[in-house]
Chain A
Amino acid sequence: MLAVEGVSAAYGRLEILHKVSLDVGPGEIVGIIGPNGAGKSTLLKTIFGYLPPFEGSVRFAGDTLAGLSPDRVMRQGIGYVAQAGGVFADMSVHENLVLGGYSLGSRRAATAAIERVYAQFPLFRARAHQRAGSLSGGEQRALAVARTLVVKPRLIILDEPSAALAPRFIDEIYATLAALNRSGIALLIVEQNVRRILDAAHRIVVLDMGRNAFAGASAELRQSDRIRRLYLGEDAG
């Protein structure tokens, strides 16, 4: 469904990604791991259009994404959850969801869609008029996920959903993600928390120094001593 092939990208003259490839099938969860500075977040930004690749191709359901701006990539059916601060902090929870439906074109279409999201996340209905910035870190992360659901994406890209969260909230966000996946949504997740993503993902892609270092099933990765030693460190335990 998502096919990234030989993508290279740079910030100015600083090349971050070198011919990276990966793919995500329908309904699949793919995790991206690797050391700090491996280019994991940059890869997500390149796929979503924040950073144009200077070579390689990004395709989604047959359509080419490379060169499109994020607002147009989003309209292809891809949601994006940023690492932190992804919500509109000075707006209410409800306004955040209304904006999630911006691409639906009309307020009426958005209202029905938001009703569906409220049914899925009752907490947000109760807090509809609360300032999004006053929610806890975990709730803000969940709101950012809920906001992508207003338009029924086929794939959601998440940049470190567990970052800076207490274990209890990490459990909650991953339970939410698992439920979304069961409903048929594919997920592409960058994660530092290796144990967590090995449990959640069907397949893992390891990036190192901006290059593909490994790709395979989570179980396969767990069994490879070399990969464990090189990329997972003690986290792999």
Chain B
Amino acid sequence: MVEEILEFLILGLVLGGIYALFAVGLTLIFGVLDIVNVAHGEFFAIGGYALYVAMVVLGLSPAVGLVLATVVVFALGLVVYPLLIAPLQKRLGRRAPGPLFLVLTLGLSALMQNSLLAAAGGEYLKVPPAVKGGLDLSFTFVSGQRLLILIVASLGLAALFLFLRFHRQGMAIRAVAQNPAAAQSVGIPLGRIFTLTIGLACALAGLAGGLIAPLFSVYPAVGFTLTIKAFAITILGGMGNLLGALVASLIIATVEALSVLVIPSEWQNAIAFGTMILVLLVRPSGLFGKKQP
């Protein structure tokens, strides 16, 4: 039993790494732009497709594939603000109603999903693992791909947090999240920061999509469940709270992994979303409260 629990704990950590890459980005966008990016799952899917193209179609190395997945999705993320959000903001003026942006990103999600379906077809594409072998822990065997996820996800998140903490542009992102008017008064151009924020958040989603692709398959709607789950994580961690999103990712993933031991797996998602609704009702500000990127 103890060995089983340990095994599922490791699985939870691996899954938590993916959730965190995804949910921290979603939370960052929300904290800075006040927009819920419903299309985040599609950027994750594109990360998977990019890895597939790099490794299977072009025969590139997995490392190059992962970098490519991150960079391609980063570039796609960079155009979201100037091409979609800024024009809508401009037309609607200063007090643009939030629901319109929700509809906008929902539309983007459907557009991207259907484009993927048209371009790549609906089949489940298999991607070979980036690393072979693994780690034998006597009670369980951890595959190399899972170790890779753990390491790369930790590095990616650490890089993001260090960037936000110490880099000039990272500080500017935090400044805009806290006080956009004051940020402008010190010379920070809001548009550029919004553009960069969505780009970075999407890059993390693309990286996550590439990392997990060899474990699951790649298909157009692969990011959908993750998006909904990330909403739960974002709410649990406190809307806009990055550290909260990180901790909540690990909690949700671990609970999800361990719940297999006691709850039939077909009930897993229902339980996860039931928990989200419960948290909303009991503690709407999440476990860790207010937004503080």
Contacts and interface: CB of A to CB of B under 8 A. Distances in A.
Interface string A141-157: 00010011001000000
A103 B187 contact: yes
A102 B187 contact: yes
B181 A50 contact: yes
A100 B171 CA distance: 11
A99 interface: yes
A195 interface: no
Q: Give chain B's interface residue range (CB within 8 Å of chain A).
A: 10 to 19
B185 A48 contact: yes
Interface stretch (B12-20, B96-104, B172-180): B172-180
Contacts of A74: 184-187
Given A12-B93, A95-B171, A100 B186 contact: yes
B187 A75 contact: yes
Interface of B: 93, 168, 171-172, 174-175, 178-179, 181-190, 292
Contacts of A182: none
Contacts of B184: 49-50, 69-71, 74
24 contacts: A69-B189, A69-B190, A71-B188, A71-B190, A72-B189, A74-B187, A75-B187, A82-B182, A85-B179, A85-B182, A87-B182, A88-B174, A88-B175, A88-B178, A89-B179, A90-B178, A91-B171, A91-B175, A99-B172, A100-B186, A102-B171, A102-B172, A102-B187, A107-B168
A80 interface: yes
Given A91-B175, A99-B171, A86 B182 contact: yes
A100 B182 CA distance: 10
Chain B binding surface SS class: helix
Interface in A150-167: 151
A163 to B, nearest CB: 16
A195 B75 CA distance: 56
The 5 closest A-B pairs by CB, nearest first: A103-B187, A70-B184, A80-B185, A74-B187, A71-B189
A102 B182 contact: no
B172 A89 contact: no
A113 to B, nearest CB: 12
